[in-house]
Each structure stands twice: as structure tokens, then as C-alpha cells.
Amino acid sequence: MSVLVGKTAPFFSTAAVVNGNEIVNGFSLDQFRDKKYVVLFFYPKDFTFVCPTELHAFQERLADFEKRNAAVLGVSTDTEQSHWAWLQLPKNQGGIQGVKYPLLADSNKTISAAYDVLNGEFGVDEDGHLTATSEMIAYRGLFLIDKDGVVRHQLVNDLPLGRSVDEALRILDALQFFEKNGEVCPANWSAGKEGMKADSKGVAAYLAKH
């Protein structure tokens, strides 16, 4: 797969459902440029099983992302109408009612392809018929994009493997710590712990204490 870290996040403009009930067109990352960090995560399908647990988990910690000046965006290859319908379904019925961050529609699969999280490939068989190697849905990809629009972290899980929202917050904290202090974040770093100067003396001093 492509490594997007260090590169400008691929552009897109698409339909989205915002605030749990409003469909908007032309939703893109441009609105966050120079203003907010973005946590962009892909999930396989609406009306499924692991997916609602992840979407609710991000909603439950949404205030924690917002106080770090970060927008959370969810994407799947479903339509905006499918997103809207799922958002109206109560949680106790398998729905995602109560999710307020934007859910983006990637029904033509171009966003998933641009971020290289599309599960499968299109092809043509010997009779000239269009084929697909799988269901062509998105893997569980997550991308942390800074205020300059550059991808600083990416993670891709296979379909059965749900993600850790705590880890997404930890990585966001690490990036902001580095930007503020100029120090790097060693293994298992978390907010409140000391960083490390990125030179031989800094490494030696840190290892001596740990």
C-alpha cells in the first residue's frame, strides 16, 4: 500500500452528513486548512457490526478531539443517504443515532482508492467483462492530518479488527507535543510524560533515567 506520511493528504470533494441529519455537498478538507488537525478514518460499511462500535467510540471522545483542535471525519463507500438512514437508527437497534461528526460518502470509491485503503481491485477478464477481486469496501484506515494538510500518521487495520480511539488521541497528543516543544516522543509516550531531545546526548540522558 502507499505510505502517505509526509505527503499532502489527497484532495476530495464529496457529499457528507453533518450533525447527524443534514446532507451537504462539496465537503472537503480545504475548510480545515490552517485551522484544525483532522482525524480521517475509513470504515467498511454502514449497518454492520464492528463499525458502529467504532463510530460510537469516536463520538464518546469527540470532546477530547475538539479540545485538541481536531476534527473527526468518518468515511465509507456507502452513499450519503445510507449514512443518513443509519444515523436515524437508535443505538439499541444497531444504529449510530447520536453521532454528530461528519460522515462522508465515497460511493464512487475514489477517496478510498486515493488513500489506498480500498479492499480489492477492479480488472477485466478474458471476455472483456469488468471484474472485482472483492467486495470493494474500505479497510479500517486512519490518517492524522496536520493544519498544513500533511499526513503525519497512518494506520490500516483489516476488516475484523477494531481500532483504539485512545491510540488516536495519543498520537495526536504526540504530534502536538513535538510541535510545541521540539522534542520527540519515545516508545510508549503519553501526555504528561517527558519527551526526548533528538540527539545522542538526549537519547543517552533519557535511557539513563528509564
pLDDT on residue 78: 98
What are 65-83's pLDDT values in tens digits? 999 999 999 999 999 999 9
Q: Which of 8-12, 46-50, 114-118, 198-202 has the lowest mean pLDDT?
A: 198-202
Residues of the chain with CATH 3.40.30.10: 14-161
What are 119-174's pLDDT values in tens digits? 988 888 888 988 888 889 999 999 999 999 999 999 999 999 999 999 999 999 99
- What's the grid cell of residue 163? 481500532
pLDDT on residue 53: 97
Mean pLDDT computed over 57-66: 98
* Residue 110: pLDDT over 70: yes
Catalytic-role residue among 4, 51, 87, 104: 51
Mean pLDDT computed over 24-37: 98
The band of 1, judged by pLDDT with boundaries at 50, 70 and 90, is: low
CATH class assigned to 14-161: alpha beta
Which has the higher per-residue pLDDT, 119 or 201? 119
pLDDT on residue 32: 98
- What's the grid cell of residue 138? 474500505
Please, which contacts does 170-178 make with residues 24 or more away whose CB atoms are closer than 8 Å? 171/144, 172/37, 172/39, 172/65, 172/68, 172/70, 172/144, 173/68, 175/37, 175/144, 175/146, 176/37, 176/68
In this prediction, what percent of the chain has a pLDDT beyond 90?
86
* Residue 43: pLDDT over 90: yes
Catalytic residue check, 51: yes
* pTM: predicted TM-score of the whole model, two decimal places: 0.94
